[in-house]
Amino acid sequence: MVSNADFQIRKVDALEILDSRGNPTVRVLLELEGGRTAVASVPSGASTGRFEALELRDGSDASGDALPERPRYGGKGVRRAVANVRDIIAPALIGQDVRRQAALDRLMLDLDGTENKARLGANAILGVSMAIARGAAVAAGLPLYASLGGSGARRLPVPMMNVLNGGLHAANALDFQEFMIVPHGAPTFGEALRYGSETFHALRALLHARGYVTSVGDEGGFAPDLPDNETACSLIVDAIEKAGYRPGADIAIALDPAASSFGRDGSYRLQSHGTSVTRSAHEMNELYADWIARYPIISLEDGLAEDDWAGFAKQTSRLGDRLQIVGDDIFVTNPAFIKRGIREKTANAVLIKLNQIGTVTETVAAIEAARHAGWAYVISHRSGETEDSFLADFAVAMGGGQIKTGSLCRSERIAKYNRLLEIEHELGVEAEFVSPFAVPRV
């Protein structure tokens, strides 16, 4: 028998753990009166948007280290965030009911009292917020996706798999950060994962045969020194065919150039065959239009920089009926920015990252704003991840049918894919897998 006491928080604790890049991050441990426990770990980005909620790092003076000349983790530790969970957030949450997610998230916002969670740290607050969501599920005896999404939560997301890494996620010369395959023509999630994995391995063989390295970047995609960005698209098409699939119909391409990392003030600096070229937003949009005509691209994220609202709106009016235009750095999962984007027709989709905004409740509000406008939304990992698979359940709960969670050879990414397989298995014949995309005409 489940009783109200089972949902009451008895203890909140936190510790500093490492993420997939070997950088410190926050893990929160929650204990409920009934004795059940919940754990959540916070991811961390590299190509972060300027207006993201603040990820609290210790800095060299606040490290608390015995050897001040050698700060812990170069000042990147999260001991202060951990201490904020233990000393400030925990006392306010003891005795509270984990089913009241919105109220408890609000309580943390009030404790923090800043616009961007600068006092307690978005990493501290999000860790607790996720642990509360998981605690509510555990106490109710429900899987997280069902607890968060209700009985209608049975749509498995189409994965965007990042098979070639560049930009800030790799040490190669590619300016564009992510070249992803999207197996949207598969009949089920499990089959989509197989399509993706087979294509990933075909790509490895192709790279090897053409004399490129097959080492990987931060999200597990290969990171070869290709002569230019476009070569990545043609290689992916070759890999899809080599794996026995139809480019476009079975597996399409999604791009995240993460243009804030090579562009600002409407000017974009690209490398090609070792030389650098500067392009305007208009020229970037023409470049994408040209690629879309020649490659089966169905989604373009951050094709322009976070400060280029005008360029984004032009891109959306020029290309938005042919493909998904996703805003990441420009919206930073912030409902206010998304609403501006909807008014100004900046994009037609939004990338959703829990730690950009810092609570589960605000993330859901961001998704609701997108849904209300008929925009698509893609639930996304960060380039620094942990083995926590919260994201997989969250994507099924939110029902948008899209997840971006990296490549197919690093366990912090695979943890999400494997959890989605588990959910699909558990849902059985009730599981749905519906492509949100039309087949691209190339």
Ligand X SMILES: O=C(O)[C@@H](CO)OP(=O)(O)O
Known binding positions for substrate? 169, 178, 301, 328, 380-383, 404
Backbone φ and ψ for 253, nearest 5 degrees, come out as: -115, 140
E strands of 138-186, at which residues?
158-165, 178-182
Beta carbon of residue 73, minimum distance to ligand X (angstroms, whole number): 18
DSSP assignment string, 285-309: HHHHHHHHHHS-EEEEESSS-TT-H
Stretch that binds ligand X, among 46-54, 152-160, 226-234, 315-323 (CB under 6 A): 46-54
314 is catalytic: no
Residue 409 is a binding residue for ligand X (CB under 6 A): no
Give the DSSP letter of residue 88: I
Interacting residues with ligand X between 157 and 216 (CB under 6 A): 178
**Residue 319-338 contact track with Mg ion, rule CB under 5 A, x = bound:** ---------x----------
Count of residues interacting with ligand X (CB under 6 A): 14
Beta carbon of residue 47, minimum distance to ligand X (angstroms, whole number): 4
Binding partner selected for residue 380 from ligand X, Mg ion, none, CB under the kind-specific 5 to 8 Å limit: ligand X
**Catalytic pick from 353, 362, 385, 416?**
353
- How far is Cα 418 from Cα 160, in angstroms, rounded to an integer? 15
Beta carbon of residue 46, minimum distance to Mg ion (angstroms, whole number): 10
**Residue 320-339 contact track with ligand X, rule CB under 6 A, x = bound:** --------x-----------
Residue from 20, 25, 47, 315 touching ligand X (CB under 6 A): that is 47
Stretch that binds ligand X, among 6-14, 205-213, 229-237, 375-383 (CB under 6 A): 375-383
- How far is Cα 82 from Cα 80, in angstroms, rounded to an integer? 5
Residue 6 is a binding residue for ligand X (CB under 6 A): no
- How far is Cα 277 from Cα 247, in angstroms, rounded to an integer? 30
Residue 46 is a binding residue for ligand X (CB under 6 A): yes
Stretch that binds ligand X, among 20-28, 40-48, 292-300, 430-438 (CB under 6 A): 40-48
Query: 99 near 86, Cβ under 8 Å?
Result: no
Residue 383 is a binding residue for ligand X (CB under 6 A): yes
Spacing of C-alpha 61 from chain mean position: 31
List the beta bridge partners of residue 427: none
- How far is Cα 27 from Cα 221, in angstroms, rounded to an integer? 26
- How far is Cα 92 from Cα 364, in angstroms, rounded to an integer? 23
- How far is Cα 222 from Cα 202, in angstroms, rounded to an integer? 12
Residue 175 is a binding residue for Mg ion (CB under 5 A): no
Residue 256 is a binding residue for ligand X (CB under 6 A): yes
For the annotated binding site for Mg(2+), the residues are 256, 301, 328
SS3 (DSSP) at 342: helix
79: left (phi over 0), alpha (psi -120 to 50) or beta: alpha
Q: Cα–Cα distances in Å, from 16 out to 40, 77, 221?
A: 12, 8, 27
- How far is Cα 166 from Cα 157, in angstroms, rounded to an integer? 25
Binding partner selected for residue 413 from ligand X, Mg ion, none, CB under the kind-specific 5 to 8 Å limit: none
Give the DSSP letter of residue 222: B
Given the complex with ligand X, which of 258 and 347 has the nearer CB atom? Answer: 258
Interacting residues with Mg ion between 276 and 315 (CB under 5 A): 302
Give the DSSP letter of residue 415: H
Residue 256 is a binding residue for Mg ion (CB under 5 A): yes
For the annotated binding site, the residues are 169, 177-178, 256, 301, 328, 353, 380-383, 404
Q: What is the CA radius of gyration of the chain?
A: 21
- How far is Cα 169 from Cα 152, in angstroms, rounded to an integer? 36
For the annotated binding site for (2R)-2-phosphoglycerate, the residues are 177, 353, 382-383, 404
How many CB atoms within 10 Å of residue 194? Answer: 14
Given the complex with ligand X, which of 147 and 162 has the nearer CB atom? Answer: 162
Interacting residues with Mg ion between 392 and 421 (CB under 5 A): none
Binding partner selected for residue 52 from Mg ion, ligand X, none, CB under the kind-specific 5 to 8 Å limit: none
- How far is Cα 205 from Cα 203, in angstroms, rounded to an integer? 5
Residue from 155, 382, 416, 419 touching ligand X (CB under 6 A): that is 382
| Contact residues: ligand X, CB under 6 A | 45-48, 178, 219, 256, 258, 328, 351, 380-383
Q: Which residues have a catalytic role annotated? A: 219, 353
Question: Which residues contribute to the site for Mg ion (CB under 5 A)?
Answer: 256, 258, 302, 328
